[in-house]
Amino acid sequence: MPDEIELGRQLAVENCGACHATGTEDASTLAAAPAFRDLGQRYPVSHLEEALAEGIVTGHDAMPEIEWDTDQIIAFIAYLETIQTQ
């Protein structure tokens, strides 16, 4: 499991870190981009699994569409679950 969580952290940093805060204390560089540690306050992060599998569609061009395989999605969500604020 630690390797899975580390893979999820790496995916978050490399693919999302330019805009989103991906850790427990960093700030998002793009004000409109929510910190990943706060996503659980909006909805269960496990709900992202289907959206990630289908390709998240957003209302702005700055967010890239990324295609991840099942193992990457599971790792990403596992990492998100470890950093959620209460």
Three-class DSSP category at 6: helix
Reported CATH class of domain 2-83: mainly alpha
Mean pLDDT of the chain: 90
Looking up tokens 């580390």 gives 6
Amino acid letter for position 17: G
Q: Radius of gyration over alpha carbons of the chain, in Å?
A: 12
Domain boundaries of the chain, sorted by first residue: 2-83
User: What confidence tens digit (pLDDT) does each residue in 10-23 have?
Assistant: 999 999 999 999 99
SS3 content of the chain, % helix, strand, coil (to 5): 50, 0, 50
> pTM of this prediction?
0.89
What is the rounded average pLDDT of the residues 44-61? 79
Least confident segment among 8-12, 15-19, 42-46, 65-69: 65-69
